[in-house]
Structure 1
Amino acid sequence: MSPTPIAQPESLRPANRTVPVDPLFLAAPQVSTYLGEFALTNASGFFFERENRLYLVTSRHVVIDEVSEHLPDRLVIELHLDATNLTKSTGFSVPLYRDGQALWHQGRDSAGEIDVAVIELERAAFPPSAVYRAFTPAHIQTAFTAVPADASLMVVGFPLGFHDVVHHLPVVRLAAIASPLGIRFQGQGYFLTDARTHRGISGAAVVMRDPAPTSPATEALPWRLLGVHSSRMDMGNRDLVLDESLGLNCAWYADILLTLTEAS
């Protein structure tokens, strides 16, 4: 078969690229941050495609965190190279600056900074055999009344950097909805989830199974995208000896991606 044109959406590529795992695992590459050649931190992220442009989505504090002086100049994401042999992979370097200017997009709303960042990927520079899946605008869950309060969610990422190091795949953690969807918790642009999370899972996709895909894109990746995991939520006055952590987390509503990926 002749090579697939770069402009063709990944979710519509030929069926011979079928992989032996749920495509969700291939939509969430491991993200590592670097300053020059020095490795800094591990994080999570996911692919998002819009109008044939491919983006990496992660948390803003992964690409820059002034408070902790976390100032990487590039990311490295793990790409699979063989659709049937997932042990084959390579690191792909993503610069964060060009000529001193940040290459990522971030957002603000009336409450301040939104802890989500997107950076466009140079797909033409990917290895020809790269295997991945990407969410699209069709995956974003906007009809919140259609999601029951007891819906089962999943957070797919790399807690503490933990993953299948042989097949280079993330892990998933079960999550529940902890605050009403469609309501900005305490006026912020996020909702709460109840899940066990750790450092390193910042930037992970918060998803639920799509029971009835309605387009080729959602059939290829049958998951609804609800949010972007940011951080754990806790109480500042909690007694660290007597009281356990709340076990709650902030997830920014995924529709912010439509703003951050608007064509300039």
Structure 2
Amino acid sequence: MKAESILLAVAHICSYQQTRCLSCASGFYFQHDDALFLITNRHVVRDEANEHEPDRLEITLHPDPENLAITSLYSIPLYDDTQTALWRETADKSGTVDVVALPLDLAAFPQDSLYATFTPEDLPANLASIEVGESVRVVGYPLNFQDNLHNLPVMRHAIIASSFNLRFQGKGYFLTDSRLHRGSSGSPVVLRTSERVSGREDFPWMLLGVHSSRLDVSNRDEKEDERLNLFTAWYSDVLMTLTEDPEAPPVTA
């Protein structure tokens, strides 16, 4: 039996400081022309406010297409020898966007690794066609939970909770309403679509955004009020900014 392509497009990420594991999160593969990137949140690779400063990430690969129970680990350095960050990030008028793109060296991947990728063709072409209340999916590794035999992510249901045509509070994200947890950071937020891209009929998913973090109110009474269970998802069009220039300079840490 073959796993669904959407599950193979999502990567399990653990951040490390030398040999010490700091946290685990989610990410996904995005291919732009001949370049392959790992997409995740900026706070996964560096979060100054919480003193989270890993020096590398580790992702799980499937090197044997015939047996998903066989896995290998691939280490991705976050800094070069001059301590310049190797990821790509960007900002808008509201500040830093919580999405990064890490270029991946395909030549260093284990031969015949099985994975799927999002591409620019999977981004929404018409934002007006997507409405508040739309049923979407978030694919990742909440609380590091996964199919431990096959090392595959799980899919959670969500709805779009704010106007998709209007950036929430003027920032580069929309809101989702769901039951999500730590470890889902960097998960793709997707919409199943009947409009299949030629040659990619087995990948019926539109990439709407990148799941980031919980949004709550400051005056919530923790004894009386439940969490809002609203979450931010950065619009996927930022991926074009992060990946369209193959010669983009790295980040100065």
Q: TM above 0.5, one fold?
A: yes
3-state SS of 1:45 partner: strand
Aligned ranges 1:95-134 → 2 under 5 Å = 95-99=77-81, 100-134=83-117
Aligned residue identity for 2:33: E
CA distance 1:50–1:220, shift in 2 (3 Å): farther
- Paired with 2:119 and 2:104, the residues of 1 have a C-alpha distance of 15
The answer to whether residue 236 in structure 2 is matched with residue 254 in structure 1 is yes
Aligned residue identity for 1:128: Q
The CA deviation at 1:77 is 0.6
Residue equivalent to 2:251: none
- Paired with 2:128 and 2:114, the residues of 1 have a C-alpha distance of 34
The answer to whether residue 198 in structure 2 is matched with residue 204 in structure 1 is no
Residue equivalent to 2:250: none
Alignment partner of 2:55 out of 60, 73, 78: 73
Alignment partner of 1:52 out of 28, 34, 37: 34
- Paired with 1:61 and 1:223, the residues of 2 have a C-alpha distance of 26
Alignment partner of 1:226 out of 208, 219, 222: 208
- Paired with 2:215 and 2:230, the residues of 1 have a C-alpha distance of 5
The answer to whether residue 44 in structure 2 is matched with residue 62 in structure 1 is yes
Per-residue CA deviations over 1:150-198 (Å, capped at 9, x if unaligned) read: 3210000001101011100001110001001121100110000001111
3-state SS of 2:90 partner: strand
Per-residue CA deviations over 1:74-125 (Å, capped at 9, x if unaligned) read: 0001111222311011110000000211000111000101000110000110
Q: Which runs of 5+ in 1 are unaligned?
A: 1-18
Aligned ranges 1:21-32 → 2 under 5 Å = 21-32=3-14
Aligned residue identity for 2:220: R
Residue equivalent to 2:151: 168
Residue equivalent to 1:4: none
Aligned residue identity for 2:86: L
- Paired with 1:142 and 1:47, the residues of 2 have a C-alpha distance of 20
Alignment partner of 2:72 out of 83, 90, 101: 90
- Paired with 2:165 and 2:186, the residues of 1 have a C-alpha distance of 20
Q: Which runs of 5+ in 2 are unaligned?
A: 248-253
On the 8 A contact 1:226/1:253 being kept in 2, the answer is: yes
On the 8 A contact 2:142/2:184 being kept in 1, the answer is: yes
Residue equivalent to 2:161: 178
Alignment partner of 1:242 out of 213, 217, 224: 224
- Paired with 1:238 and 1:152, the residues of 2 have a C-alpha distance of 27
3-state SS of 2:146 partner: coil
- Paired with 1:59 and 1:173, the residues of 2 have a C-alpha distance of 18
The answer to whether residue 23 in structure 2 is matched with residue 41 in structure 1 is yes
The CA deviation at 1:61 is 0.1
Aligned residue identity for 1:88: I
- Paired with 2:235 and 2:152, the residues of 1 have a C-alpha distance of 25
Per-residue CA deviations over 1:35-86 (Å, capped at 9, x if unaligned) read: 1111110000000000110000000000000011000000001111222311
On the 8 A contact 1:142/1:255 being kept in 2, the answer is: no
How does the TM-score come out when normalised to structure 1? Answer: 0.91
The CA deviation at 1:220 is 3.7
Size of the aligned set, in residue pairs, is 245
The CA deviation at 1:230 is 0.3
Aligned residue identity for 2:119: T
Q: Which segments of structure 1 move beyond 3 Å, counting only runs of 4 or more?
A: none
- Paired with 2:73 and 2:29, the residues of 1 have a C-alpha distance of 15
- Paired with 1:227 and 1:256, the residues of 2 have a C-alpha distance of 9
How does the TM-score come out when normalised to structure 2? Answer: 0.94
3-state SS of 2:233 partner: strand
How many percent identity over aligned positions? 47
On the 8 A contact 1:144/1:181 being kept in 2, the answer is: yes
